[in-house]
Amino acid sequence: MALTVLVTGAAGFIGMHTCLRLLAAGHRVVGLDNLNAYYSPALKQARLARLQALPGFSFIRADLSDTAAVAAAFAAHQPSHVVHLAAQAGVRHALEHPYDYSASNLTGATAVLENCRRHGVRHLVFASSSSVYGGNTRVPFAETHPVDHPVSFYAATKRANELMAHSHAHLFGLPVTMLRYFTVYGPWGRPDMAIWRFTDALLAGRPIEVYAGGALERDFTHVDDAVAATVALLERPPSRQTSTDPARWQASSPDTSWAPFEVYNVGRSDPVSVNTLLALLEQATGRQALRQELGMQPGDVARTCADAGKLARAIGFSPSVPLAQGLAGFVAWFRKHHGR
């Protein structure tokens, strides 16, 4: 059955790919984005142009912190499902611009939650982040691990989003699924992320800033895998548990309650170091990196690694894109997109 899906952050990286997947499945998609200048609006416009060329897609330009505009979008389109991907991203940007995060990630998220419950949305799929695991040293990161010590303001806002969403699930019966994405990359990706920056520098012959000796490890997840999981979960809303005895759920895992609420890690469960990433990009570009060695940056963590077992049990998730293949595809797209 065709759904009407509101996708916030539709001109963003994961947003565009999610819209494409939903449209290909025959759903009606309403995209919402403010096209802000955190990174090149031209890239966002180019993504948006791909979507606007397809039947079944409509677009609203609005800022999530404009609560009246968000309410109007819900009232006009009456979405049955919502994929909330819009957020102010970036760990380092938050060091100098924290109010950008409170406006988008807190006020904006509140507007989405409130309108979902007021308009009877059947399922809200909400982007969180692997950054909520903060300073955890126990790997792989599992949904049952404590997430009470964020090491960046961005991470703090995403953890706040999880708590806010749970409260709406508990109070109003709004089915919510939170997705903790692990370093998603691929064609049409974000210019502020390492794979884009490294590729750009390699092709231009510029030095590459390498932090902590390149020993930092990340669980890189191809966008095709991340979107496949997102769309598969969209039609599987969590249900309210039959028991409302706190003793039952408090004794079990921390991500369990009687509310219709679930949290899933979305990652490959196969972290690699920045040094390995650079070597693979050197191979894909045919260029040798010029390294500029720097220390550990505020807000960074040494390693991320997803335990994706819960997601596998729920939807049979198994990542299909190996890192070397995904990086080669990204470099090919990058060369074409920039005419290099």
Report residue 30's pLDDT band, with 50, 70 and 90 as the boundaries.
very high
**Whose CA is closest to 334, among 265, 276, 287, 295?**
287
pLDDT more than 90, % of the chain: 86
Q: What is the tens place of the pLDDT at every residue in 46-57?
A: 999 999 999 999
Domain count for the chain? 1
Active-site annotation holder among 101, 154, 181, 185: 154
Q: What is the CATH number of the domain that holds 196?
A: 3.40.50.720
Contact 61, 100 (CB under 8 A): no
Contact 142, 265 (CB under 8 A): yes
For 259, the 3-state DSSP assignment is coil
Contact 214, 298 (CB under 8 A): no
Torsion of CA 145, 151, 152, 155, to 10 degrees: 0
133 flagged as catalytic: no
Structure tokens of 96? 């100098």
pLDDT number for residue 249 = 44
Residue 206, domain extent: 4-338
Structure tokens of 74? 């819900």
- Give the integer Cα–Cα distance in Å for 114 and 120: 10
pLDDT number for residue 244 = 44
Q: Record the pTM.
A: 0.94
List, in sequence order, the alpha helices (H) in the chain. Answer: 13-24, 41-52, 67-77, 93-96, 98-101, 109-118, 153-172, 194-204, 223-234, 246-250, 274-285, 309-315, 323-338
Q: What is the tens place of the pLDDT at every residue in 208-267?
A: 999 989 999 999 999 999 999 999 999 999 998 644 444 444 444 445 568 999 999 999
Structure tokens of 217? 């490890």
- Give the integer Cα–Cα distance in Å for 161 and 116: 14
- Give the integer Cα–Cα distance in Å for 98 and 164: 19
